[in-house]
Structure 1
Amino acid sequence: MDESSIPRLGQIVKVIRGRDIDKYAVVIDVVDERYVLIADGDKRKFDSPKKKNILHLELQDDISKEVVNSLNETSRVTNGKLRFSISRYLENIQPDEDLKGE
């Protein structure tokens, strides 16, 4: 397994299989070499993360330093911080698109 296929805490991921296909989330825990826990702070809160096979995720290059710092300091992260990390990532990759249709 090469370095880029190993999920890390705070990493942004895109779901490519399952009910939440094409949604983005943040890795909040690495269970083992096959599974991670992900949350988006919206439908998937920090307190009820989704256990996901890493084969069903597309790992993005972005790692949220705020999420990593918060997890390291308190073993928790706020749902607002998760939402902020994802929205900031999406703004950086899609600067011209209106993401929410507001």
Structure 2
Amino acid sequence: MSEPDSSPRIGQFVLITQGREAGQYAVVIHILDKRFVLIADGEKRKFHSPKRKNINHLMFFDCVSPEVQNSINESGRVTNGKLRFAVSKFVNEQVTDLKKGEHLDGERRCY
């Protein structure tokens, strides 16, 4: 699920493991450098005020939201509603499967 050598991607889902928001899910919306990314969830952290996080304080999933990724690549921004939808869909469909003992892999369709 999380590899230290892999670089983060725009639209990738993350679990915050350190800090005040630990245990919450978000989406990478910008990569600052090799060490820091900006994340948002559309609810507490909006697109216009994202959280700067150290990648060592995040757990990256092998899952990218194509809607968020395409929106950021095309227009440079994404709506908070789209972020909320992507995060809730990911949590409802993928994370519940992980809790049941299944694994995310490249074969599964990510939302």
**What TM-score do the two structures reach when normalised by structure 1?**
0.88
| 3-state SS of paired residue (1:81) | helix
Post-superposition offset of 1:71: 0.3
Deviations 1:37-84 (A, max 9, x none): 000000000000000000000001110000010001100000010011
State percent identity of aligned pairs: 54
**What TM-score do the two structures reach when normalised by structure 2?**
0.81
Look up the match of 1:69. Answer: 70
CA distance in 1, matches of 2:5, 2:40: 24
Look up the match of 1:78. Answer: 79
Look up the match of 2:88. Answer: 87
| 3-state SS of paired residue (1:60) | strand
Moved segments of 4+, more than 3 Å: none
Post-superposition offset of 1:2: 2.4
CA distance in 2, matches of 1:74, 1:29: 13
Look up the match of 1:35. Answer: 36
Pairs aligned (count): 94
- What amino acid is aligned across from residue 2 of structure 1 in structure 2? D
CA distance in 2, matches of 1:19, 1:27: 18
- What amino acid is aligned across from residue 86 of structure 1 in structure 2? V
Asked whether 1:2 is paired with 2:8, we answer: no
Look up the match of 1:26. Answer: 27
